[in-house]
Structure 1
C-alpha cells in the first residue's frame, strides 16, 4: 500500500477543505513547494496534488505552484483538477507529472479518458468523488446520477492506472475513511483503487493494513498530516512492516 500525502492548491497556497467547500479552506502552508520537499524528506514515495481552483474553473489555475513543486521534489507526482482535454493533460505530462487524474471529464467525456489511457499507459488515473453514493463533478459542486461503481466499470478495459475514490462527506473532517464503500468499489472493478477522504489517525493506517483492505492500492492523507494527528515515520514504518510480514 502506498500512502500519498496531499497538497491541495487554492490561490497558490496549500490548503485543506471541509467536505469540498471552498469557503471552508484552512491554509497550512503558503509555500507548496516547501511542503512537497518536507513530505519527500519524511520518506513518502509519491505526492498527490490537486488544483482546487482548476477543478472549479475547468482549466489549470495553479500552474506556477505546481511548476514549483515539480522543480523542488524528485518524488513522482499525481495531479488532478481541471484536466478536461488532451492539451492540458499532455502539458502536465510534458512538465514531469507522473500521473494525471481525470475527474469531471470521466463522467462528461469518457472517450477522452480512453484515448488518454491508450496513448499514455500507466499515467492516467480516474478520480471518482462520491456524495451520497453519486458521483460529483465540477469541483464537487454538482452531483450526477451515476454511481461510483457504474463509473468505475465504464473504464474496466481502458487501461487506466488507478481509481482515486473520495467520499466527499468525510473529506477534511477527520472521521475516518469509508472503508466499506471503497473496498466494495475495489471488488467491483479490476482497476487498482486508492482511498481518499477522512483518514484521521494511525488507527486508520492499521485498518487499511487489515486483510479485507488488501485489494486497495493506497490511501491519501491530508489534514491529519498537517495537524499532527498522523506521525509520518510511524505510519510509513507500519506500512513497511506489513509488507515485510506479507512477503
Structure 2
C-alpha cells in the first residue's frame, strides 16, 4: 500500500475533444458517434476558464487515429484564448512533437498508445521534460486499449501504470472506454485500485453524467487520496453538470 497525504481538493478537467477543427464528444470512442458542440474551440476554452476551471484537458482525436498532430490550429486557438494550464493528447508519438507543443504553451503532454508500443519514448520524454508528461491509460474491461481505442491489448491497466510510474510519468489519466460518453458513472473500482497502488496522481475519466457521480468520486478520493481529479465532457456540454456546483463538490474535502 502506498502512503498518501490527506484528502485534497479534486481538480475538474473540462474535456475539449477536437475533430475536424470542432469540439465534439464521442460515445465509447467511436469516431462515427461524434456529437458536435462547438465550431470555435478557442471560445469554448475561454468559457470554461471563465466559469472557474483551473485546467483544460484537450485531445486531438484526428491525431490519435492519424498518429500525428492534426488539429494544430484549433489547439493553438485554445492556447491563445485560455488563461489556465492545458494538457494535450492525441497523435503525439515522438520527442519532436512533445517539444513543439510544450514550446507552443501546452503545460503537459499526454502520451497514450505510444506508451504501450514504445515505452522507451516515455522514459526519454520524462527525462527530457520532467513533470510535463502524463500517461493516458484507456482500458476496456481492465485491459489496455490503443490506437484511438481501436485495438485492445493483453496488458492490464495496473501493470502498465506501475511500469510507467517507474519511467518517471507525472500522473496517470485512467479512462474506462465502455463508460466514456455514456453518462453512467465512473469506474470507481478500477480508479481506486490504481490510486491505491501508485505513488503518482490518478485522474479519473469516462462516464460522468451528473453531480452524484462526482460526489461518489469525492467519497472514494477521501479514502484514496492518490486520486487527483476528474475529466468531464458530455455532461458539461449537455448541461447535466453545472461547473460551479461541480467545483463545490470536488473541492470540498
TM-score (norm 1): 0.96
Show the counterpart of 1:167.
Answer: 176
* Residue 145 (structure 1) shift: 1.1
1:65 to 64, 67, 74: 74
Contact 2:89 2:110 in 1 (8 A): yes
1:4 to 7, 10, 13: 13
- Partner Cα distance (1:213, 1:187) in 2: 6
- Partner Cα distance (1:42, 1:157) in 2: 36
Q: Deviations over 1:192-234 (max 9, x none)?
A: 1100000111111111211234320110000000001101111
Report runs of 4+ in structure 1 exceeding 4 Å deviation: none
Show the counterpart of 2:100.
Answer: 91
Higher deviation after alignment, 146-155 or 163-172: 146-155
- Partner Cα distance (2:166, 2:32) in 1: 38
TM-score (norm 2): 0.94
- Partner Cα distance (2:12, 2:169) in 1: 19
2:83 to 56, 74, 81: 74
Show the counterpart of 1:107.
Answer: 116
Consecutive unaligned residues in structure 2, runs of 5 or more: 1-9
Q: Give the root-mean-square deviation of aligned CA atoms.
A: 0.9
- Partner Cα distance (1:81, 1:4) in 2: 16
- Partner Cα distance (1:213, 1:229) in 2: 26
- Partner Cα distance (1:234, 1:218) in 2: 15
Show the counterpart of 1:214.
Answer: 225
- Partner Cα distance (1:65, 1:178) in 2: 30
Aligned residues: 242
* Residue 159 (structure 1) shift: 2.1
Consecutive unaligned residues in structure 1, runs of 5 or more: none
What SS is found at the alignment partner of 1:3? strand
- Partner Cα distance (2:25, 2:103) in 1: 27
- Partner Cα distance (1:10, 1:142) in 2: 20
- Partner Cα distance (1:71, 1:148) in 2: 35
